[in-house]
Structure 1
Amino acid sequence: MLSALFLTCRLAAALLPAAANSTAAAPGAVTITVAPSRVLLEERAGSHLNFDFAVQAGPDSLWLSKVEVSVYDRSGALVLRKFVDNNGFSPSVSSLSHRVFAPGQVALVFNPFHTFAPDVEVARLAYTFEFQDAKRKAVTQALDVTPERYQPRAALKIPITGRLLIWDGHDENAHHRRLDFHHPVAQQVGIRSNFMRYAHDFVVVNDKGETHGGDGKKNTDYPGFDQPVHAPAAGRVVAAYSAQSDNDNGQDYFNPGDMVGKDPLLLYGNYLVLDHGNGEFSLLGHLRQNSLVVKVGDEVRPDQVLARIGSSGSSYFPHLHYELRTGAAMNVEGLPAYFTKFRLVRGSRSRTVPSGTVDSGDIVVQERK
């Protein structure tokens, strides 16, 4: 079996275009930058990284053939080395978000090496990108990434009470994570960064994990609709909007054009932004129309009711969008959120989490006394 697999890989490699030996990229051949420049490390049963590579081809088209990373600990010792390449009939490099770069084009390549086991100390990551140009000449580019472990200063609590499903978090498959801010549509509406990089969509569910009754077409089919939204921590209201109609029963009132001419945060429909201090802001979105009970300038206390769950803005059904971020405007950066005193449910078992992160698919219970 091993020999057959080896032969298959060799055959597939033989059918690919030949390449010269790799050489360092000629000046201007390719430019690769890390986005965001400040790379944060989120700790949850290991280390999780959430950043992108902005790749810009020079005067020639480029085809990405390999990405390799070497992980080093604080002493400088090599911990492990991983790569994706074009070997095999279904090469792993094809899983990357972009592989072909036209001259002068900037495109995002989502970091393929994002999760490391608890026993892997991640102090420095050395990346190597290998390309081929139109003449099949190999071009390589290397860059280092030094991540920073991040713990928010605000003592955050999940903003909704009860049993919740993280419908979409920020793992590698989540749409929050895969916001390609170099996409033409994103550029057109003014998106220049991934502000929702660490976002969560909280959905109220029943004991069976069901999100709704009936056919799910009406907002009232969802037990979460009109449920209270609480302040995740103390803060001051610095931005708010509440006049957007809720999408309901097939009616979609979200207009992306409003984001350009009126308010970019209307992506979230009705929203609220809290300044917790220390450069940490909470954004709560898709709130029910006219449900806000606070206004800009108000100081709020932890657990205070702020609004109610709706389905406004870019929303398909009632839920709460939550993100911790570096500012109140659109083009800021996301921050990892660690919530306190919730229960993580694993089937018939559950455990109390004093402080920790949550992500896509998790079922949690947040209680308030």
Structure 2
Amino acid sequence: MFALLLSLTLASAPAAFTATPDTTGVTVTTAPGKVWLEERSGQRLNFDLLVRNRSRDTLSLSKVEVSVYDRSGALVLRKFVDNNGFSPSVNGLSHRQFNPGTAALVFNPFHSFADDVEVGRMAYVFHFQTPKRAEKEARVEVWPERYKPLAALALPLTGRQLVWDGHDENAHHRRLDFLHPVAQQVGIRSNFMRYGHDFAVVTPTGELHTGNGKKNTDYPGFNQPVHAPAAGRVVAAYAAQPDNDNGQDYFSPRDMVGKDPLLLYGNYLVIDHGRGEFSLLGHLKQNSLTVKVGDEVRADQVLARVGSSGSSYFPHLHYELRTGKEMNVEGLPAYFRNFQLVRGSRTRSVASGAVDSGDIVLQKRK
């Protein structure tokens, strides 16, 4: 979707995370503060670890260790990444060097657990070294909460679709470093697209486009109807941005700063489903919106058409469930109902479930 940036609590827990008091000049907290467990091919976690170096030393991260405890407090498993070996696992972290007086995000490396792992409390230990080889540590404890969806969501497009990019650990939605200087310059302060999806209608054989793919009309998804994923009220909308097409890119990050931060998505709609859940639908076709701010919409209602506006490489629909209508909110796990999951020559019906990068799904409508 997105070329701009360089391309949990249990009922008994007092808070979603607890950081150890700062005694070494370095602290670790979670972003966001509330950490969700998503049911998706096991259990998935999608949060960042925010490292703040208040010391006078440049710190090198040498090891991150996590201990997972069940609700009774018993240890379930312990895992780590470190600097051992010729190609050490710690090199896979998003940041390893922390200059004095700076902060940076480390994307959580322990994000996937089997269904039989009861994730109650997670205790992280970060190990750092100074230039003089002195050791420092920072600790943080996390209590993930299993997300319980409220709105009965349906996939907003019809037909066979590829989740071109979702929110797994390699997806660009997941890897939005909101502390990056460019992100800060355009006003990004959180990962609102943490659970985002890019849906692209594909041919029966799974191809994104016909021809050479340079024109929007080469894509079977272009101009396809976009349906309301659930009932609600339109609380934000924009429809005037031209669609990028045939090498012409109309997206300007400067407009985000001076006009509307959500122009990242080009033409867009935000629907308030109530109880803290909002749907954002982006990259819509210019002037295709059939609703306006204040309108009540019913589930499955046609709202707009698929376009390629905003920060978009090709015609597709960006969808995310989120906590508000503004830019700097947080993403939420989305569970869609009554679709079919295509696995090659086999297809199975899903009553309710999450989808992610690479999945091929089929949504039928009457």
Q: Report the TM range for the smaller structure's normalisation.
A: over 0.9
Q: Secondary structure at the match of 1:257?
A: helix
Structure 1: tracts of 5 or more residues without a match:
1-23
Mapped contact 1:29–1:60 kept (Cα < 8 A): no
Post-superposition offset of 1:46: 1.3
Look up the SS of the partner of 2:105 in the other structure. strand
Question: CA offset at residue 45 of structure 1?
Answer: 2.6
Matched, 1:93 2:53: no
Structure 2 unmatched runs, 5+: 1-19
Structure 1 position 103 matched with structure 2 position 100: yes
Q: CA deviation at 1:25?
A: 8.7
Tell me the secondary structure at the aligned position of residue 266 of structure 1: helix
The sequence identity of aligned pairs, in percent, is 76
| 1:193 corresponding residue in structure 2 | 190
How far 1:274 moved relative to its partner?
Answer: 0.1
- The match for 2:38 among 17, 29, 42 is 42
Report the TM-score, using the length of structure 2 for normalisation: 0.93
Determine whether 1:64 maps to 2:61: yes
How far apart are the structure 2 equivalents of 1:223 and 1:299?
29
Q: CA deviation at 1:33?
A: 1.1
Quote the residue 2:329 is aligned against.
332
**What is the aligned counterpart of 2:265 among 254, 265, 268?**
268
Which residue among 92, 111, 115 is the counterpart of 1:118? 115
Indicate if the aligned counterparts of 2:235 and 2:272 stay in contact, CA closer than 8 A: yes
Cα displacement (A) at 1:302: 0.5
Partner of 1:242: 239
Give runs of aligned pairs for residues 293-312 of structure 1, distance below 5 A.
Answer: 293-312=290-309
> What is the CA–CA distance in structure 1 between the aligned matches of 2:240 and 2:22, rounded to whole Å?
54
One-letter code of the match for 1:237?
Answer: V
Instruction: Letter of the 1:368 partner, please give it.
Output: R
Structure 1 residue runs of 4+, over 3 Å off? Answer: none
Residue 56 of structure 1 and its aligned partner are, at CA, apart by 1.3
**Alignment correspondent of 1:52:** 48
In angstroms, what is the RMSD of aligned CA positions? Answer: 1.0
CA deviation string 1:221-264 (max 9, x = no partner) = 00000000000000000000000000000000000010011000
Q: Would you say how many aligned residue pairs link Structure 1 and Structure 2?
A: 346
| Counterpart secondary structure, 1:316 | coil
Find the aligned partners of 1:72 and 1:345 in 2 and give their Cα distance. 36
Deviations 1:52-80 (A, max 9, x none): 01111122110000000011111111111
Q: Which residue of 1 aligns with 2:29?
A: 33
Alpha-carbon distance change, 64 to 342 in structure 1, aligned in 2, over 3 angstroms: same
- 1:273 aligned counterpart, secondary structure: strand
Measure the CA separation in 2 of the matches of 1:276 and 1:207: 33
Secondary structure of the structure 2 residue equivalent to 1:166 = strand
Match of 1:316 in 2: 313
Q: Give, as a single letter, the amino acid of the residue that structure 1 aligns with 2:44.
A: H
Matched, 1:285 2:265: no
Q: Is the contact made by 2:24 and 2:137 (CA closer than 8 Å) also made in structure 1?
A: no
Secondary structure in 2 matching 1:80: strand
Contact 1:25 1:139 in 2 (8 A): no
Shift of residue 134, structure 1, vs aligned partner: 2.0
**What is the TM-score with the length of structure 1 in the denominator?**
0.93
Look up the match of 2:5.
none
